[in-house]
Structure 1
Amino acid sequence: MKNRQFIYLILTVSLGSFVVLIIGRFDLISSTGILLLGNDYRRRPGCTCSRSSLTSLRSPLTSENSHIQLSLCSEYATQRGPHQRIIAISLFGPKENRMFQMNRSLALLHQLIEDLNVVYPDNFILRVYHDDAVDSSNIICPIECKHPNVDFCNMTDKLYIPPKIWRFTPAGDPLVDIMMSRDLDSPLTKRERAAVDVWLASNKLFHSLRDHPLHNVPMLGGMWGFRPSLNRSISRLILDKIYNRELIKRYGGRADQSFLSSHVWSYAKASVIAHDSFLCKHEFGQKSEPFPTQRPAVNETNCFIGWARPCCTPGKRPFGPCPPECRPKDHPEWVYC
């Protein structure tokens, strides 16, 4: 009898310890219905700094299945909660890119963050999808701790996805309302933002930008956007294609635009705003619109959207006038539109 009581005591203590462990792992805030992860989401492993707390943006428990929806980025990104507005880029190392130079890539990234703060200051977040070539302690930690609007997303467990397609991942993120795919080496400009604002003021799912005579595809890898919040079914379909190993391996290297043409444009063309300054006659199955603002003056360096820094030489354009039919109807005098 005593032995049985002793066994019961051991089991009771063990069960109690397990319960304490579970409670220690999760802090349930009953007043807000929010489940907070017990570990410190503000500090990455190996970091000496901590990021700002996100008390007001933490993910609520869903009433249907009582679990936290996870972002397709990081624990910190998950804690931001729903309704995220994302600008996504890919940053990948020498394994995928022989021309990779870390110092140059970091310089471009810092320039892009400066652009973000000026052009997209209204709660847009820059997500940097990367591999292990990007060191946490020396690169990621200082940038994330300094810039609350930048999240790094490690793709090491998804390396079967071609690097230039990593940046498309937010299209399937359940916490993202707006995503835009951009290039690391291309600046964010006021001309681009004006076009984005036209898109966001509409009810269209997709956005496509074409601002050069050679932008002759439906969607460019670094010049398109999607609003997952308007159609979660299409959002999941796009993510399924990105995560399909047999499918996605066909689109390595520079084939990201082929992936968009083959697997995203079929959804996009039914609900898209396409701004096109040169190829408006070639509608790709959907009529385009002129850009809402005139092209910058010839002495400015941001001569077209999608250019790689430093791009245009002051005083010389890389192309001629835009066709009259591609100009706004109320501004036929915009020779460079």
Structure 2
Amino acid sequence: MRLPLWLVNRRRFLSLVYLCLLSSLIVFIIFHIVDYISNIKQPSTGSYRRRPECRCDRHPLPTIDLKIISKIPKNQSDVCSDYATRRGPNQRIISISLYGPKENKRFLYNSTIYFLHELINDVNKFFSDNFILRIHHDDAVTYPDVICPIECRYSNVDFCNMIAKRYIPPKIWRFIPAGDPLVDTMMSRDLDSPLTKRERAAIDEWLATNKSFHAMRDHPMHVTAMLGGMWGFRPSLDPAMSLSLHNKIHNKNLVQKYPGINDQAFLTNEVWPHAKSSIIVHDSFICQMRYGTDTQPFSMQRPLPDATNCYIGCVRPCCLDGKLPFGECPKACRPKNHQDWIYC
């Protein structure tokens, strides 16, 4: 018995509608699965080179396996910026804090910008081999006037906004890269201190060892185990310590015990007890005050005093009168094969 033509056509129509609905459902499911996977713990792909506040694009970065980034614990993933994260692993960081008059009574905008540009020049001169300058800042510097022009011009400078981390004392902001899983080497420095060839020689000696930490003392008044702007750490050599430092820095109850200039007290109490078992210390004056570990002399002789290069950690401008602000260094702190270096 043949079905009426109208019934056959109706069945065909319903089958077609069913197939269309099924196809749409499949496409919908596939689209959302792909969208979900592409957004799991990965930075956005379209705008990482341009901050929302900027009109310029940053230099493109080499492609990396985003799975590396997705494996970073969430509490350690937001330490600087999307662009900094996309640099991937094995970063070598020079880290500073930059903050305004609320925290720094001596803050002068023009001097700060001058120091910043001088420091960038020093990085490009002495640390041009893939070192990155991270600047941890508050609202003392603005995006249109300072941050955007510098980041778009210099591929080796990253600004890290600390507004959401105001509970961390500003002088301790610069320690944050010590807890970044993507960092191989970090060095904490001062905005207003020049970087020097002699300093670089000491750092290269440290990096040639398997020691996790580095500290320098280059003035008779450098009488503390670790100075806030003259120490370094290799997170890649001690991931457990790196995580511990990250947790300490981001522990509000703990870190707020070290306000203002107490960043060195933080290092003395929270870092040095562990660091001293795996550290290279360069010391030119108080080498006999060992603080529980051996020291070694600087391998490069101190240059003649001038306006930029007096001692490591000096404040610009250094030694304007052409005189060193101290006498001869002790013989015990001179290299054994250079006892004639009275200014070592």
Q: How does 1:1-337 map to 2 (within 5 A)?
A: 16=28, 19=31, 23=35, 26=38, 37-56=44-63, 58-62=64-68, 70=77, 72-299=79-306, 301-337=308-344
Aligned AA for 2:258? Y
Aligned AA for 1:78? T
CA contact (8 A) 1:87 1:125 kept: yes
Q: Say if 1:24 and 1:198 are closer, same or farther in 2 by CA, change over 3 A.
A: same
Q: Say if 1:199 and 1:145 are closer, same or farther in 2 by CA, change over 3 A.
A: same
Relative to the length of structure 1, the TM-score reads 0.89
Give me the whole-angstrom Cα distance separating, in 1, the residues matched to 2:272 and 2:112. Answer: 30
1:31 aligned partner: none
Structure 2 unmatched ranges of 5 or more: 1-13
Tell which deviates more after alignment, 297-306 or 135-144: 297-306
Give me the whole-angstrom Cα distance separating, in 2, the residues matched to 1:138 and 1:179. Answer: 27
Q: Say if 1:265 and 1:20 are closer, same or farther in 2 by CA, change over 3 A.
A: same
Give me the whole-angstrom Cα distance separating, in 2, the residues matched to 1:138 and 1:163. Answer: 22
Q: Say if 1:63 and 1:149 are closer, same or farther in 2 by CA, change over 3 A.
A: closer
Deviation, structure 1 residue 301: 3.7
1:128-176 CA distances to partner (integer Å, 9 max, x unpaired)? 0011222112210000000000000011111000000000000000100
% same residue = 54
CA contact (8 A) 2:214 2:232 kept: yes
For residue 311 of structure 1, give the secondary structure of its aligned residue in structure 2: coil
Deviation, structure 1 residue 313: 2.3
Give me the whole-angstrom Cα distance separating, in 2, the residues matched to 1:95 and 1:63. Answer: 35
Give me the whole-angstrom Cα distance separating, in 2, the residues matched to 1:66 and 1:90. Answer: 24
Aligned AA for 2:28? G
For residue 286 of structure 2, give the secondary structure of its aligned residue in structure 1: coil
Give me the whole-angstrom Cα distance separating, in 2, the residues matched to 1:301 and 1:37. Answer: 42
Give me the whole-angstrom Cα distance separating, in 2, the residues matched to 1:62 and 1:92. Answer: 32
Deviation, structure 1 residue 18: 9.7
Deviation, structure 1 residue 103: 1.5
Give the paired residue count. Answer: 326
Give me the whole-angstrom Cα distance separating, in 1, the residues matched to 2:179 and 2:43. Answer: 23
CA contact (8 A) 1:71 1:174 kept: no
CA contact (8 A) 1:70 1:175 kept: no
Aligned AA for 1:112? L
Give me the whole-angstrom Cα distance separating, in 2, the residues matched to 1:302 and 1:9. Answer: 75
Structure 1 unmatched ranges of 5 or more: 29-33
Relative to the length of structure 2, the TM-score reads 0.88
Provide the aligned C-alpha RMSD in A.
2.9
1:244-292 CA distances to partner (integer Å, 9 max, x unpaired)? 1111101111000000000000111000000000000100000110001
CA contact (8 A) 2:249 2:255 kept: yes
For residue 216 of structure 2, give the secondary structure of its aligned residue in structure 1: strand
1:13-68 CA distances to partner (integer Å, 9 max, x unpaired)? 7993994696399489xxxxx96623310000121100011133x35314995999
Aligned AA for 1:75? D
For residue 37 of structure 1, give the secondary structure of its aligned residue in structure 2: coil
CA contact (8 A) 1:59 1:80 kept: no
Give me the whole-angstrom Cα distance separating, in 1, the residues matched to 2:303 and 2:170. Answer: 32
